[in-house]
A and B are shown apart, each in its own frame.
Chain A
Amino acid sequence: AQRVTQPEKLLSVFKGAPVELKCNYSYSGSPELFWYVQYSRQRLQLLLRHISRESIKGFTADLNKGETSFHLKKPFAQEEDSAMYYCALKNSGGSNYKLTFGKGTLLTVNP
């Protein structure tokens, strides 16, 4: 069964500090991994997906198949990065876009 684990429920850093939100997954096939973000009182939004290998709002994430991880990183956190972050997995292929989410990490960036 596929599973996504975000070990940190809460993460607090100071503005300008590096931030890393951890995500580990369990999946027997070849997964697609995503990070979704939910700012206060806003909808879930796609932040980035591993197949795009892009940097969005300064965030990057590298899929490490050996460690089954997809940690989200930003070298210098900003106050506006404060939000709930969800790691999600989709089985590649498949007939639909069924996502398995982690429990989420609430990131607080303090001034």
Chain B
Amino acid sequence: EPEVTQTPSHQVTQMGQEVILRCVPISNHLYFYWYRQILGQKVEFLVSFYNNEISEKSEIFDDQFSVERPDGSNFTLKIRSTKLEDSAMYFCASGTYLNSPLHFGNGTRLTVT
């Protein structure tokens, strides 16, 4: 069964550094999402992406965040200047059509020191 894949599984970075989290959604999916989960807290919606543009973003998704689909397969989340509070598990998800269930990746654990 096809899966959403995320790399790396764990990323450690210093405060102020830029980080790019990578995701390869399932190939025929059209809707892409990033969620995050700070340790001990809820899984929170960050951003949704469709037709090469952001369709919705949360309050968390400020100017430090950006998403891109640089080619036909990758979907990236960039954090420009990481802060300690960005430490979390970041989940990528994709779906075939608007109301299809989401398929999640295994997540990338980001640790900002």
Contact = CB atoms under 8 A, between A and B. Distances in A.
Interface of A: 34, 42-46, 49, 86, 88, 95-104
A99 B48 contact: no
Given A46-B101, A95-B55, A101 B44 contact: yes
Contacts, number: 54
Interface in B26-73: 31, 33, 35, 41-45, 48, 50, 55-56
A86 B37 CA distance: 12
Interface residues of B, number: 25
B1 to A, nearest CB: 11
Which 10 residue pairs are nearest across A and B when measured between Cβ atoms? A44-B104, A101-B43, A96-B48, A46-B101, A43-B106, A43-B104, A96-B55, A98-B45, A101-B42, A103-B42
A103 B41 contact: yes
